[in-house]
Amino acid sequence: MHRPRPSPGSETPWSASRYRWLLVGALVALTVTLAACDSSGTAVHYSFGPTSGPKLENGPTYEVKVADVSGLGPVLVTGQGLTLYLFVPDRQLRSTCIDMCAVQWPPLILPKGVPRPLAGPGIKAGLLGSIPRADGTMQITYNNWPLYRWLPDLHPGQATGQGLNNLGGLWWVMNADGAIVTTK
């Protein structure tokens, strides 16, 4: 039996369904990747293909330390060496990055049962703290600024979120003294 071909630009229900499932699969893979942590708070990273760039370090997700990043000098990074950012609209001690903002800029969260963040090399422990978020989690702060990651930064040394005006405000890195670094 011969089936007529759809006219150019038209979409059959089968192909629309196929694309929907492809999108759902991609979102599930992203969610699993973002949520993959073991009980100690150390990120578990899965690789589904060739990778390039420096490997992630082995520190816990709730560790804050200082490292040289992308021409910005020594700035705050996670235990894995990934760059941390502050969101200017937060104005210290208050997180305003919620919903879609918190998906693109994941807050640095203390795992349940961990009483305080870990001060790594170069950190002034007195500037490290945490604040409650609206969802009941505890977000790690430095010099009272809530800390975030930027999803496109995949490797230590990257700071592709530096100076972005995104989701209602500017995003900057911070140095060990708790000062905002505005170099782009």
State residue 1's pLDDT score: 58
pLDDT at residue 146 is higher than 60: yes
What is the tens place of the pLDDT at every residue in 71-81?
999 999 999 99
What is the tens place of the pLDDT at every residue in 54-69?
889 999 999 999 999 9
| Interatomic CA distance for residues 36 and 42, integer angstroms | 9
Judge whether 106 and 126 are in contact, CB under 8 Å: no
pLDDT at residue 177 is higher than 60: yes
What is the tens place of the pLDDT at every residue in 11-45?
444 454 444 444 444 443 443 343 334 334 444 34
**Domain range list for the chain:** 63-181
What confidence category does residue 84 fall into, taking pLDDT thresholds of 50, 70 and 90? very high
State residue 141's pLDDT score: 98
pLDDT at residue 50 is higher than 60: no
Judge whether 61 and 39 are in contact, CB under 8 Å: no
Percent of the chain with pLDDT over 70: 71
Mean of pLDDT values over 87-98: 93
Mean of pLDDT values over 157-162: 97
Partnered with residue 174 across adjacent β-strands are: 180
Q: Percent helix, strand and coil across the chain, each rounded to 5? A: 20, 25, 60
pLDDT at residue 147 is higher than 60: yes
State residue 122's pLDDT score: 98
Judge whether 110 and 138 are in contact, CB under 8 Å: yes
**Helical ranges in 45-176 per DSSP H:** 100-104
State residue 9's pLDDT score: 53
What is the tens place of the pLDDT at every residue in 100-137?
999 999 999 999 999 999 999 999 999 999 999 999 99
**Mean pLDDT score of the chain, rounded to an integer?**
82
Greatest mean pLDDT among 2-6, 47-51, 95-99: 95-99
DSSP run (H or E) holding 34 = helix 13-35
